[in-house]
Amino acid sequence: MSMFRNSIVKLVASHQGLVSNCRYATAASTNLKAVLANQIPEKQEEVKKFRKEHGSTKVGEVTVDMMYGGMRGIRGLVTETSVLDPNEGIRFRGYSIPDCQELLPRGNGGTGEQPLPEALFWLLLTGEIPTQQQADAISKEWNDRAAIPNHVTTMLNNFPSNLHPMSQFSAAITALNSESKFAKAYHSGVKKSQYWEYAYEDSMDMIAKLPTVASIIYRNLYREGSSVGAIDPKKDWSWNFATMLGYDNADFVELMRLYLTIHSDHEGGNVSAHTTHLVASALSDPYLSFAAGMNGLAGPLHGLANQEVLIWLTEVRKKVGDNITEDGMKEFVWNTLKGGQVVPGYGHAVLRKTDPRYTCQREFALKKLPDDPMFKLVSALYKVVPDILLEQGKAANPWPNVDAHSGVLLQYYGMTEMNYYTVLFGVSRALGCMASVIWDRALGLPIERPKSFDTPALKKLAAAAKK
Ligand code: CMX
């Protein structure tokens, strides 16, 4: 049945000319590690040859402003999993979000509308669209690896309720490194050429465990510490996550599948991906590396923005009510800016158009919750905020990003605890960060160590450059 579905999807996609040059999984194997082991030598060879031919080719320049300006625009990282186009948005291994929604296999249970994050992980790692069997094999493997050690459960149960869910999440991931196969292998002297295998094992284990960790945090904080229950071995990662959180709703499962797919990766320079990559370059194990990335995601200019958006929207609604007037909204937005605050959910360091991750969530909302007052408010703000930001003249990108929408969808299904939203983002981000770390080790990337200068030294460099 699923083979049949995959051929139909391929046929429809090629017939509609949706995606040119689709790369479907070439290997029949459902063993992702084996598929990867086949690919790695070829890719290593390709990179070796490329560096031999072009190793000294210049691909950009660095200005003084770039150095003081958060390294914006500096071309300094290699990330294989995804590339962000300023106008078009993210492409995962060359595939846009609509491509992924069209081509990736679905899960059983739910309504079958959205792709499986498991399939996206396969794509991020291999560059190929998996078959249904391959995606299902990942669901099974993650279910098999999902158990978390007692000391992590005990630690989570002992955290005070005023400790932010992201702090709990990051601390739990750090503590999970008691399970690290990478750390153990490193200490027993494993060869560098095998690092990726242990990074892979830790990544698969960690991704498998995150929904349980995240659900314990949720239930401890908002559901009187009730039990998360057991993983259903026949279901997928998102279905199990939704169920452990306590949501028994087919549309919410689809929302999770969509949410966990689209938040996974945004090329390499964003704070969470870059931090994970940097820390992993010191050969800290994947748990330690990802926990560091999560501390970055917890910043209000990055992943915490989805929490900030819902707080802000709630204030807008209090102020302007449900009979939204354009003037009322404009006044609120201007007051936010005049108060020295950013409009959360708008702007981006790289994007210069509406984020396609915003657009696909909007499409979901138009289908499932068109009359929800908060969704109407988000839609109404979309009409006024960009013009105001343009008029203010500061933000390089006045358009909404992913965080402008996600909270509204979650609150519709009853997840109103906005402090928790960034944890969901974090669970998803593991897919991209871990796929990258595995390739970092497969390609033998060294410890990261860019050069820094103090201002006097930079002045000397600038003076010398003028001569
Ligand atoms: N509201 C008000 N001012 C904004 C703004 C916004 N949404 N976005 C940018 N600006 C301001 C900046 O604060 C900056 O002001 P100063 O010069 O006074 O410092 C100026 O415009 C220029 O900034 P920029 O080059 O457009 O943006 P940056 O690359 O520096 O920052 C980002 C990008 C996302 C941090 C910023 O747009 C922002 O703070 N947005 C709101 C928070 C948010 O939604 N973050 C989520 C990002 C999504 C993600 O994590 O992936």
* pLDDT-derived band at 20, boundaries 50, 70, 90: low
* pLDDT-derived band at 61, boundaries 50, 70, 90: very high
Query: Does residue 360 line the site of ligand 1, with CB under 6 A?
Result: no
Counting other chains too, the contacts that 258-261 makes at CB distance below 8 Å and 24 or more residues apart are 258/101, 258/114, 258/115, 258/360, 258/361, 258/364, 259/406, 259/409, 259/424, 259/428, 260/117, 260/424, 260/427, 260/428, 260/431, 261/100, 261/104, 261/114, 261/115, 261/116, 261/117, 261/120, 261/428
Tokens of 222: 């908002």
pLDDT above 90: residue 3? no
What confidence tens digit (pLDDT) does each residue in 333-342 have? 999 999 999 9
Pick the catalytic residue: 355, 403, 405, 440? 403
Query: Rounded to whole angstroms, how far apart are CA atoms 356 and 82?
Result: 14
| pLDDT (average), residues 307-315 | 92
| pLDDT (average), residues 250-276 | 97
Question: What is the pLDDT, as a whole number, of residue 15?
Answer: 39
Question: What is the pLDDT, as a whole number, of residue 93?
Answer: 98
pLDDT above 90: residue 5? no
The rounded percent of the chain whose pLDDT value lies above 70 is 96
Mutate to test the pocket of ligand 1, among 66, 72, 74, 301 (most ligand atoms within 8 A of CB): 301
Pick the catalytic residue: 164, 263, 266, 302? 302
Q: Check for a shared fold between 142-303+417-442 and 305-412.
A: no
Q: Going by CA atoms, what residue is nearest to atom 17 of ligand 1?
A: 394
Query: Does residue 342 line the site of ligand 1, with CB under 6 A?
Result: yes
Determine whether 15 is an active site residue: no
For residue 323, count other CB atoms closer than 10 A to its CB. Answer: 6
pLDDT above 90: residue 116? yes
**C-alpha 156 – ligand 1 centre gap (Å):** 34
| pTM as predicted | 0.94
What confidence tens digit (pLDDT) does each residue in 33-54 have? 999 999 999 999 999 999 999 9
Q: Going by CA atoms, what residue is nearest to atom 40 of ligand 1?
A: 347
Rounded mean pLDDT of the chain?
94
Residues paired with 84 in a beta bridge: 90
Domain edges within the chain: 142-303+417-442, 305-412
What phi and psi, each to the nearest 5 degrees, are found at residue 215?
-70, -35
Instruction: Identify the CATH homologous superfamily for domain 142-303+417-442.
Output: Citrate Synthase, domain 1 (1.10.580.10)
**C-alpha 426 – ligand 1 centre gap (Å):** 21
Query: Does residue 9 line the site of ligand 1, with CB under 6 A?
Result: no
Question: What is the pLDDT, as a whole number, of residue 104?
Answer: 97
Query: Does residue 118 line the site of ligand 1, with CB under 6 A?
Result: no
Q: Which residues have a Cβ under 8 Å from the Cβ of 334 and sit 6 or more positions away?
A: 388
pLDDT above 90: residue 21? no
* pLDDT-derived band at 58, boundaries 50, 70, 90: very high
Query: Rounded to whole angstroms, how far apart are CA atoms 351 and 400?
Result: 10
Determine whether 348 is an active site residue: yes
Cα–Cα–Cα angle for 223, 227, 230, rounded to 5 degrees? 135
**C-alpha 339 – ligand 1 centre gap (Å):** 15
What confidence tens digit (pLDDT) does each residue in 129-178 have? 999 999 999 999 999 999 999 999 999 999 999 999 999 999 999 999 99
What confidence tens digit (pLDDT) does each residue in 258-269 have? 999 999 999 999
The CATH number fitting domain 305-412, selected from 1.10.230.10, 3.40.800.20, 3.30.70.20, 3.40.50.720: 1.10.230.10
pLDDT above 70: residue 1? no
> Which of 249-261 are b and which e, b meaning 16 or more Cβ less than 10 Å from the residue's Cβ?
eebbbbbbbbbbb
* pLDDT-derived band at 284, boundaries 50, 70, 90: very high
What confidence tens digit (pLDDT) does each residue in 347-378 have? 999 999 999 999 999 999 999 999 999 999 99
* pLDDT-derived band at 90, boundaries 50, 70, 90: very high
Is residue 213 within 8 A of residue 156, CB to CB? The reply is yes
Coil vs helix vs strand at 91: strand
Mutate to test the pocket of ligand 1, among 306, 346, 361, 403 (most ligand atoms within 8 A of CB): 346
Q: Which residues have a Cβ under 8 Å from the Cβ of 237 and sit 6 or more positions away?
A: 116, 117, 118, 138, 139, 142, 143, 207, 208, 211, 260
| Lowest model confidence (mean pLDDT) among 22-31, 207-216, 227-236 | 22-31
